[in-house]
Amino acid sequence: MAVRDKKKQTETGFITAGDRYLFGEGTHYEIYNKLGAHPKTFDGKTGYYFAVWAPHAASVSVVGDFNNWDPDACPMQVLETSGIYERFVPGIKPGELYKFAITTQTGKVIFKADPFAQYAEYRPGTASITAFNDSFRWSDSIWVQKREATNPREAAMSIYEVHLGSWKKKNRPEKDGYYTYKEAAAELAAYVKEMGYTHVELMGIAEHPYDGSWGYQVTGYYAPTSRYGTPEEFKYFVNYMHKKGIGVILDWVPAHFPRDAHGLADFDGQALFEYADPRKGEHPDWGTKVFDYEKHEVSNFLIANALYWIEQFHVDGLRVDAVASMLYLDYGRKDGEWVPNRYGGNQNLEAIEFFRHLNSVVAQRGHGAMVIAEESTAWPLVTHDPKEGGLGFTFKWNMGWMHDFLEYMKLDPYFRKFNHHKMTFGLTYFNSENFILVLSHDEVVHLKCSMINKMPGLFGDKFANLKAGYTFMLGHPGKKLLFMGQDFGQLHEWDEKVSLDWHLTEEDLHKDLQNYVRDLLHIYQKHPALYESDDDWDGFSWINANDGDRSIYSFVRYAKNHKKSLLFVCNFTPVARPDYRVGVPKRGNYTLILDNEHGAYKTGEKAPVLKAVKSECDGQPYSISLPLPAYGTAILRFS
């Protein structure tokens, strides 16, 4: 169908003066229902209504297959002084390609994808696609109601970080063998449920042009990537996960965006979504643009986008990427390459206000959804209430713990006694924020080795080391995150182009590690002592933090009622201790529920029971003795 109308079109009335006012104030939290492309009926005709914010443009038109991509065919009308252009085009159907043809102040015509597009062309295509009428019917109300009534900081959370494109692949040529959202849902849910994870965290769901960016350079913030299917199919994925009792977290990237010609960069011929000054508006390390958080419309674009994923797709949380790069004006920049704030400091005051605004709005709307900060510095009060000077995030990734943990685990066991503090330091600040302990994709790429190959020793020693490390991680306060493949000992570094090596799970050592991680995760969910008081000294107590010569750590995790508390003992050397004595806080029986050689003791199995004797050890009035093998671990339950 060809449409040609060079006459000035009258305003449609779809975007009201109230809409324009709220958008200009940065508080139109459903602006995605107004800007973008939406099926409408106007003057008795059905078609699509298009609207775009382009205040620096000389003129804008909508182009697509429906008008042979002719910039003269469907000119758009600017609405007063808002910088918003609109156009209703009759006869357009769902699934048609389109872009905005923007004539800049210099007379150049540039073609841009729709910033609010809900669907996009499969790469390497860059056009937006008119979305289908949304007929998806949700059936996850039980999950959503439970989420709204749950405090996530006092709940179990073990996260499986997943890149859908390389988790598994199909043996077929279409779309590079990617699983669709629907295909992935059943297999991924079954695996996650069996292993004992509570949530999946998905990388790279918002549309992005380059696979190698892993989804961290976004061009379609409102569009689930077409690599795996349609927006409705992604809703199916989330709904399916919820019905299986699994939460869904998305990686979200409000820190920067790429320079791709069809994307947000210089959107209307000038800096619009980004800061105009390159000392604020460009990331020299990444070659990307930085959002201008001072513009209300840009802040609105991002906050509405967060709510879009939470409210329209029912996701349970957003993990905000690269928070540190947003908070610090000098992040990745040398002297002279950044602009101080009005007080002369290096804090980005607009980004701070953005985070407080974002997190306050998400909390106030009462979904029970989480906002998680990947923040790698010592910025204070990240997870504290904005009213108290905090940023308001639900959780913060504990990057400091991750670095210390991995540095320690990579050491030859002989040298661990000289670095004993690396494993205890995290317990000096664990209650300063609400933390998630993370071993993410970033730790198994760029020549950092896979998790199993970070471990020292012969091949079998590597698995024993990793078992001990994961056991310590389980006991350490904080929610948990593992990247896919780490639970069975993936050998090669992660590569987004190929599937994980699932065949390894048929080999003894890999299968044994996978079973051990499964046991740990199920113990985690079963015992409130491991998650109820993650930010409180009431929930954690050292037994012996100073046994550096033997590289052994022992501690207790307490439930709120101090019932069914857990004692952890972890040996990080290949030296067996046949009669290791450890202090305990009270008399009674201590039941072994897991060790590194047996794994978890299942129902019906006779688990060893150790009776505490009145014999002072480790500053405790009672003690027990247990055999602690090379790289031995033990978790014991007591009341």
Instruction: Tell the residue number behind the tokens 């990444």, with chain if given.
Output: 286
Show the domain range for 307. Answer: 155-370+386-395
Q: Please check whether residues 258 and 356 belong to one and the same domain.
A: yes
Give the CATH number of the domain where residue 21 resides.
2.60.40.10
Strand partners, 617: 620
Q: Please check whether residues 259 and 112 belong to one and the same domain.
A: no
- Per-10-residue mean pLDDT for the chain, 639 residues long? 46 90 97 97 96 98 97 96 95 97 98 98 97 89 97 97 97 92 98 98 98 97 97 98 98 98 98 97 94 98 98 98 97 94 97 98 94 95 96 98 98 98 98 98 96 98 98 98 98 97 98 98 98 96 97 96 92 97 96 96 91 96 97 96
Tens-digit pLDDT profile for residues 217-262: 999 999 999 999 999 999 999 999 999 999 999 999 999 999 999 9
Residue 617 lies inside a defined structural domain of this protein: yes
Residue 504 lies inside a defined structural domain of this protein: no
Residue 33 lies inside a defined structural domain of this protein: yes
Q: Which helix H or strand E contains 112, and what residues bound it?
A: strand 109-112
Residue 584 lies inside a defined structural domain of this protein: yes
Q: Total domain count for the chain?
A: 3
Residue 52 lies inside a defined structural domain of this protein: yes
Tens-digit pLDDT profile for residues 412-462: 999 999 999 999 999 999 999 999 999 999 999 999 999 999 999 999 999
Q: What's the pLDDT at 9? A: 55
Q: Please check whether residues 93 and 161 belong to one and the same domain.
A: no
Q: How far apart are CA 24 and CA 27, in angstroms?
A: 8
The residue from 95, 129, 163 where one domain ends is: 129
Please compute, for residue 346, the number of CA atoms within 13 A of its CA located in the half-sphere on the CB side: 14
Q: Please check whether residues 91 and 200 belong to one and the same domain.
A: no
Residue 518 lies inside a defined structural domain of this protein: no
Q: Please check whether residues 43 and 93 belong to one and the same domain.
A: yes
Give the CATH number of the domain where residue 259 resides.
3.20.20.80
Q: Residue 498 CB: number of other CB atoms within 10 A?
A: 12
CB 141 within 8 A of CB 127: no
The residue from 63, 94, 129 where one domain ends is: 129
Residue 505 lies inside a defined structural domain of this protein: no
CB 396 within 8 A of CB 436: yes
Q: Please check whether residues 345 and 267 belong to one and the same domain.
A: yes
Q: Please check whether residues 21 and 63 belong to one and the same domain.
A: yes
Which DSSP string corresponds to 429-480?
TTTSS-EEEEE-GGGGSTTS--HHHHS-SSHHHHHHHHHHHHHHHHHSSSEE
Q: Please check whether residues 246 and 359 belong to one and the same domain.
A: yes
Which positions are catalytic?
Answer: 321, 374
Give the CATH number of the domain where residue 582 resides.
2.60.40.1180
